[in-house]
């Protein structure tokens, strides 16, 4: 089950939140949320729930032992992390390891096919962050297993993030409240996320299918304009798709009193690669910063050691995204540019404006776009063909009429998608909100209130129309 499905919108979520509203106390509300969360997760395979419950129990027990036995807390931390990360590695990296072993030494003859449990990377990172925070004495160990299970399995975010720290929600697990304004903001946030996914991200994906061949032979003949346009569209799609999931998760949380941190901050207006990674998938970036980069010494070390720390972090970031050398290459691609920015160009983090800001944003977008090209192609040969084709090194033409026609026919969708990647629309909304606060005109106030109420309804209706008859369209980050 995915957020962008009619079943989720008009059955699962509706029943859950109606039931939630009628539950008399926080305990009964939490029990209802846990039941619905386990049903939601079991939709992808009932056996997966057993793994989720087991992983949660391991971290639950580990945290209790860490807190109770202070003299052995480091031992219990190491054991808990080894077991948790070992389970993740088994499901996610066994095939990758055995494939490389066979390539190098010719064995094993057969490589087992292991299904990757949906969202295992996300909930594993959440649970180990909880255990580490207990070890650091930043939070107390949760005494109730079922509440920790609720934290790990909460259907808002357990499948594709954001990676929610236990410290951010531990108080709200047992003591939260809602108010009308937050419910309203949550509904609007959810509706905007749904439209970003159902209309814009899926629309960009459909255009890519029209112009981009799916085999290497045809890709050799693809024009440079087709390859460039598809790369830009994929750059739009992956942001709109993933940020849409985060928007919907944050919105659903607000509706019932949970406050999840932002996961994106308009990364495509970044002025450097460093700035981009402060804005993109913030929960993952901060996880690696707090639990890998800083423990390694961060930047308060010698230059060679700092470069090594960055190398480790970005190798792991690549591997987290997928068990493939392609993803390692993708991580190291960013490692190279981060090192260049830090030690060659010495790009500072101070605010810049005007033409310099535009140039740096264009430079960043070019780097990021090529990064997404690496990310997109599952086959290394096709990746090489696409990169060569962009520079017309395949003997291909720069443009062709079919690409021009597709572009013209979809210009409005592309323009809206670009606009949705910027803070322009929220800025307009805040402008009118300030005008509403300052206005003493009752008709103006009524018009503003009506528009804020009707816009989410319209977005949900448009999204529902886009989803009618649509095939299964999971979020891109489900596979991680």
- Maximum C-alpha span of the chain: 79
| Measured distance CA(110)–CA(221) in Å, rounded | 36
Report, as residue numbers or ranges, the catalytic residues: 321
Nearest-10 crossing angle of helices 145-153, 166-174: 120
Q: Which residue stretches of 377-441 are H helix?
A: 380-390, 401-409, 411-420, 424-438
Question: Nearest Cα to 22, choosing from 256, 180, 251, 184?
Answer: 256
Supply 41's token pair.
């997760």
Instruction: For tokens 């290394």, name the residue.
Output: 380
Q: What is the C-alpha to C-alpha distance for residues 74 and 115, in angstroms, rounded to an integer?
A: 33
Cα dihedral across residues 320, 321, 323, 324: positive or negative: negative
Which residue, 118, 123, 154, 145, is CA-closest to 62? 145
Structure tokens at 257: 């009193």
The number of beta carbons lying within 10 Å of the beta carbon of residue 14 is: 11
């Amino acid at each position: 089950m995915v957020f962008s499905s009619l079943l989720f919108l008009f059955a699962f979520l509706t029943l859950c939140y109606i039931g939630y509203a009628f539950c008399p106390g926080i305990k009964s509300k939490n029990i209802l949320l846990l039941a619905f969360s386990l049903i939601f997760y079991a939709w992808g395979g009932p056996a997966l729930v057993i793994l989720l419950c087991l992983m949660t129990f391991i971290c639950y027990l580990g945290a209790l032992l860490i807190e109770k036995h202070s003299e052995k807390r480091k031992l219990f931390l190491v054991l808990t992390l080894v077991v948790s990360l070992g389970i993740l590695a088994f499901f996610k990296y066994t095939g990758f390891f055995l494939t490389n072993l066979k390539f190098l030494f010719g064995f094993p003859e057969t490589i087992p096919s292991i299904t990757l449990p949906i969202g295992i990377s996300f909930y594993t990172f959440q649970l180990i962050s909880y255990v580490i925070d207990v070890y650091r004495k930043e939070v107390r160990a949760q005494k109730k297993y079922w509440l920790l299970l609720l934290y790990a399995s909460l259907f808002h975010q357990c499948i594709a993030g954001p990676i929610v720290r236990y410290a951010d929600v531990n108080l709200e697990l047992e003591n939260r409240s809602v108010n009308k304004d937050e419910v309203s903001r949550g509904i609007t946030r959810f509706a905007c996320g749904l439209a970003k996914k159902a209309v814009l991200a899926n629309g960009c994906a459909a255009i890519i299918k029209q112009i981009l061949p799916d085999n290497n032979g045809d890709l050799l003949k693809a024009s440079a304009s087709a390859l460039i346009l598809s790369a830009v569209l994929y750059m739009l799609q992956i942001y709109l798709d993933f940020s849409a999931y985060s928007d919907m998760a944050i919105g659903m949380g607000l509706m019932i009193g949970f406050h999840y941190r932002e996961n994106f901050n308009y990364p495509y207006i970044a002025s450097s690669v460093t700035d981009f990674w402060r804005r993109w998938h913030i929960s993952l970036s901060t996880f690696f910063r707090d639990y890998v980069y800083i423990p390694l010494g961060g930047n308060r070390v010698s230059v060679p050691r700092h470069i090594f720390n960055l190398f480790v972090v970005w190798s792991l970031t690549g591997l987290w995204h997928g068990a493939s050398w392609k993803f390692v290459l993708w991580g190291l691609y960013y490692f190279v540019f981060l090192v260049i920015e830090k030690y060659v160009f010495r790009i500072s983090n101070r605010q810049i404006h005007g033409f310099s800001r535009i140039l740096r944003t264009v430079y960043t977008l070019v780097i990021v776009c090529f990064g997404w090209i690496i990310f997109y192609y599952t086959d290394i040969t096709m990746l090489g063909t696409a990169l060569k084709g962009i520079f017309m090194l395949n003997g291909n033409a720069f443009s062709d009429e079919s690409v021009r026609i597709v572009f013209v026919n979809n210009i409005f969708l592309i323009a809206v998608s670009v606009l949705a990647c910027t803070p322009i629309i929220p800025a307009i909304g805040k402008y009118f909100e300030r005008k509403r606060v300052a206005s003493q005109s009752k008709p103006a106030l009524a018009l503003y209130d009506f528009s804020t109420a009707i816009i989410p309804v319209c977005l949900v209706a448009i999204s529902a129309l886009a989803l009618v008859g649509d095939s299964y369209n999971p979020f891109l980050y489900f596979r991680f």
